[in-house]
Structure 1
């Protein structure tokens, strides 16, 4: 999922509370809201997500209010424009009391001094001890906790098994390679017919495709000293791979990519236009279709999966939250309350603790159980890979993702050559990282 954290957005945050009017025209649809505010005890809570996540949050928040008496006004939207809207509110000094954050962006926001150090509430109000140790530090920046993880994530490929069966094509398996990926995608496209494609064009997929591809080759997105961990030759090879698939008709055209950042009925995987996609698990996608869906790991290279498990999404409290104590209670509720765990299920990632896993396993649906089993498989593969832990994404990460998204799409639309796209990316990415220091 792409995160759009524009430099102009953070110019507003850094500007002593002066709102950036430029962000107002970024095409963000006003978020939906529900709930009843009232009094100093109330909270405003914002997140992004598809319908299933939104419904789960709404039910969980109602349980929280019933148990604590703290009223919560909920604000939610699609992914596009989420951070632009948030940046505008930070700049104006009126952010929500608690909000959902991308794990990889927390260092950027923490570096701007707009997030509350949650150490004040740990362990008194927020109990982190139930979390798996590798997940626990996902929201930590320079030794301080700025966000609490909600789950763990990996880099899967989701495929439509019903379609593969109908086409009588052997589906991918967990030992497949990038060459296998191209062969299968091409075969599906040819057998399926006009305007149908074997796979999503994932050339812009920063962490769900490019990162494992790099790690399989002994590199990574970033280095420990927070610089880019790969070079022009690597990105040239990456873009060239996808360009070949594009010319073969094996992957979707760039015009279909606008609906791929949320698990909704508009995603081309759900509308029946592509047979394989990166970025999503079964719990999010299976309820949207009658077709049977299955998971495999991103294709391998050099025998390695290159997986870099993440902390899922985080919950953070702004420095200017009007009710930080109440927000901390809500974070702990999502983390440790039995009813909250059962209500949210896997909508924010795989279970981040044995407690969550044990609560969910007995009543897990088939897709949820498959997601959890897949997570355990990936964990075993990570141990087998024996690769270094992926370095924490540096401040400016969001703009680097935007730079990759832009360059990949320019190449896909034929507006830039591969060489020009590579040059543009490294120019934009290095500027973004420099400006974020």
Structure 2
């Protein structure tokens, strides 16, 4: 989602890759308050996730009175850029939250600790081996998944029912979705959805529904300019009709649900991952419903993926304590109860079996939503190659050129592929 709309330059990417050659510890790694070890922990998210995370950390600090966790969080785009800058400067936080799209980049850059060295304190035996393996690069465990999530089309059911349209259901198509958002717009005077043209995540689901992929096994783009032109022509056409959010509304999206068109009340639907939708509850209330993404000619393109990971900086002065903290956040049942589904459904099997039956409200809705698509989704793709994280911003920036009538979908698609190939070669 867009925030600061500048892609990390090749120079910064190179610095990130070379920063492992520097010396020194993560700022805060050797800090101490009296006899306490101080660890810096940073993540992205919304206020709901922040509140629950702080409560879980309080439990950890009570159990580990000699460890003090200093926290910070931000919206995804701001977080991503700040973390890249910290890592490039040799100042990565001791413990950090990472996205699936960041693992390869940070591991190959020498930023992350080999967590296999902390197996005496970090228990991974209750995590599905396939899910655990998503945190590996070249057979080294650099990160631990915290939850399992999938994308959703979150919508204001009151507005959709008011429009008299069929509600999202398994098996609906992109044509069904387009017809629905047109009708919602015409009958309520409000766009039926955010414009999905700005989202590389939605484009990937659309591509998989066409029988294609975002990347090949070798890490090259798995689609052509024709494919991206078709997608952007489709979404831009809906924008011109007023069926999806305007260019001005879409460019305000910054990775926080509060600044989505649905969160601001200027549209009636939003494409997002399931866990962050909890932040919409104070805004949309009981009318918030989670639906599946539309299917393409080759079937459903969405998939289950690790919602996010926890990793430790290789430069930390306290690897054991950092691993203990991850162990607590992933495995402790009391922590799981506090965190609920704020990072999607727990990855620990025992925690999931314990927590899911106790969930209420939006947490239960997320669990029920995942259950509703269980067995319907294709296997996830391999983790994206280094460079993809920055390309998410490039994708949004190039689509801005379309939505503000600066470039045609074809021109923007060709620009994007040129930029993507150059970024992936670095």
- Asked if Structure 1 and Structure 2 have the same fold, meaning a TM-score greater than 0.5 normalized by the shorter chain, the answer is yes
Contact 1:163 1:275 in 2 (8 A): yes
Instruction: Spell out, residue by residue over 1:216-275, the C-alpha distance to the aligned partner (whole angstroms, 9 max, x if none).
Output: 121111111111111111111111111111111111012212443444434321222111
Q: Are residues 1:423 and 2:414 paired?
A: yes
Q: Are residues 1:55 and 2:51 paired?
A: yes
Q: 2:136 aligns with which of 128, 135, 140?
A: 140
Name the CA distance, whole Å, in 2 between partners of 1:428 and 1:268: 28
Q: 2:349 aligns with which of 354, 357, 360?
A: 354
The offset of 1:178, in angstroms, is: 0.5
| Superposition RMSD in Å | 2.2
Task: Report the 3-state secondary structure (helix = DSSP H, G, I; strand = E; otherwise coil) of the residue aligned with 1:152.
Answer: strand
Paired position in structure 2 for 1:26: none
Task: Report the 3-state secondary structure (helix = DSSP H, G, I; strand = E; otherwise coil) of the residue aligned with 2:239.
Answer: helix
Name the CA distance, whole Å, in 1 between partners of 2:45 and 2:221: 29
Q: Are residues 1:205 and 2:174 paired?
A: no
Structure 1 stretch 94-103 or stretch 36-45: which is displaced more? 36-45
Paired position in structure 1 for 2:395: 404
The offset of 1:126, in angstroms, is: 1.1
Structure 1 stretch 38-47 or stretch 178-187: which is displaced more? 38-47
Paired position in structure 1 for 2:232: 239
Q: Are residues 1:126 and 2:122 paired?
A: yes
Contact 1:18 1:91 in 2 (8 A): no
Contact 2:42 2:73 in 1 (8 A): yes
Q: Which runs of 5+ in 1 are unaligned?
A: 20-34
Instruction: Spell out, residue by residue over 1:331-383, the C-alpha distance to the aligned partner (whole angstroms, 9 max, x if none).
Output: 0001111111111111112222331222222321132222112212323102x
The offset of 1:38, in angstroms, is: 5.2
Task: Report the 3-state secondary structure (helix = DSSP H, G, I; strand = E; otherwise coil) of the residue aligned with 1:72.
Answer: strand
Name the CA distance, whole Å, in 2 between partners of 1:45 and 1:108: 19
Name the CA distance, whole Å, in 1 between partners of 2:9 and 2:79: 11
Name the CA distance, whole Å, in 2 between partners of 1:263 and 1:284: 8
Paired position in structure 2 for 1:67: 63
Name the CA distance, whole Å, in 2 between partners of 1:45 and 1:389: 28
Task: Report the 3-state secondary structure (helix = DSSP H, G, I; strand = E; otherwise coil) of the residue aligned with 1:129.
Answer: coil
Name the CA distance, whole Å, in 2 between partners of 1:100 and 1:178: 33
Aligned residue pairs: how many? 412
Paired position in structure 2 for 1:84: 81
Q: Are residues 1:300 and 2:298 paired?
A: no
Instruction: Spell out, residue by residue over 1:72-110, the C-alpha distance to the aligned partner (whole angstroms, 9 max, x if none).
Output: 111122223212222222232222111111112100111
Paired position in structure 2 for 1:432: 423
Contact 2:113 2:311 in 1 (8 A): yes
Paired position in structure 2 for 1:173: 169
Paired position in structure 2 for 1:13: 16
TM-score of the two chains, using structure 2 as the length reference: 0.91
Q: Which runs of 5+ in 2 are unaligned?
A: 23-30
Contact 1:400 1:433 in 2 (8 A): no
Q: Are residues 1:327 and 2:322 paired?
A: yes
Name the CA distance, whole Å, in 1 between partners of 2:173 and 2:32: 52
Give 1:93-172 correspondences, 5 Å limit.
93-122=90-119, 124-172=120-168
Name the CA distance, whole Å, in 2 between partners of 1:109 and 1:45: 16
The offset of 1:304, in angstroms, is: 1.4
Instruction: Spell out, residue by residue over 1:290-349, the C-alpha distance to the aligned partner (whole angstroms, 9 max, x if none).
Output: 241112211112261112221111111111112111110110001111111111111112
Task: Report the 3-state secondary structure (helix = DSSP H, G, I; strand = E; otherwise coil) of the residue aligned with 2:244.
Answer: coil
Task: Report the 3-state secondary structure (helix = DSSP H, G, I; strand = E; otherwise coil) of the residue aligned with 1:104.
Answer: coil
Going by fraction, where is strand more abundant, 1 or 2? 2
Structure 1 residues 328 and 154: alpha-carbon distance in aligned structure 2, compared to 1, 3 A threshold = same
Name the CA distance, whole Å, in 1 between partners of 2:132 and 2:383: 14
Structure 1 residues 398 and 254: alpha-carbon distance in aligned structure 2, compared to 1, 3 A threshold = same
Structure 1 residues 200 and 357: alpha-carbon distance in aligned structure 2, compared to 1, 3 A threshold = same
Instruction: Spell out, residue by residue over 1:100-123, the C-alpha distance to the aligned partner (whole angstroms, 9 max, x if none).
Output: 11112100111111111111112x
Structure 1 residues 128 and 8: alpha-carbon distance in aligned structure 2, compared to 1, 3 A threshold = same
The offset of 1:278, in angstroms, is: 0.4
Structure 1 residues 328 and 381: alpha-carbon distance in aligned structure 2, compared to 1, 3 A threshold = same
Task: Report the 3-state secondary structure (helix = DSSP H, G, I; strand = E; otherwise coil) of the residue aligned with 1:41.
Answer: strand
The offset of 1:147, in angstroms, is: 0.7
Contact 2:305 2:380 in 1 (8 A): no
